[in-house]
Amino acid sequence: MRLNEVSYTDAEPIDGYGPGFFRIGGQVHQGAVVASPKGTQAWGGYEDHKILLDLAGDIDVLFVGTGAEIAHLPGDLRPQLEAAGIGVETMNSPAACRTYNVLLSEGRRIALAALPV
């Protein structure tokens, strides 16, 4: 078996998560976060559209982690993101973190907006 080291060139991977926090690129972030090629920053949740819309042109897909359980996005968020050219995939936060890391390792143009579990 051949093992290759995974390298992340565009953004930092999700190292871990737990009740109320995410560990991204070795740093602990309390509360909701956005991880993207622009770096990792606090996210104000579903009402904080601007931080997500500012990713237009830098990413193709945004993974939205909805916390411990999968939930629907507020009605106006998905249409705004899609109108800006950002595809949206919604899943619970653990699944979103895993998917984000896999696609990030492939060099895809992605970002993650996640609510803590």
When pLDDT is cut at 50, 70 and 90, the band that residue 31 belongs to is: very high
Is the whole-model pTM more than 0.75?
A: yes
81-116: pLDDT as tens digits: 999 999 999 999 999 999 999 999 999 999 999 999
> What is the per-residue pLDDT for 7?
53
Neighbours of 72 (CB within 10 A): 9
CA distances from 70 to 9, 54, 65, 88, 117 (A): 29, 24, 8, 14, 11
Given a cut of 90, whether residue 11 has pLDDT beyond it is no
Given a cut of 80, whether residue 1 has pLDDT beyond it is no
- Domains of the chain with bracketed CATH: 14-115 (3.40.1230.10)
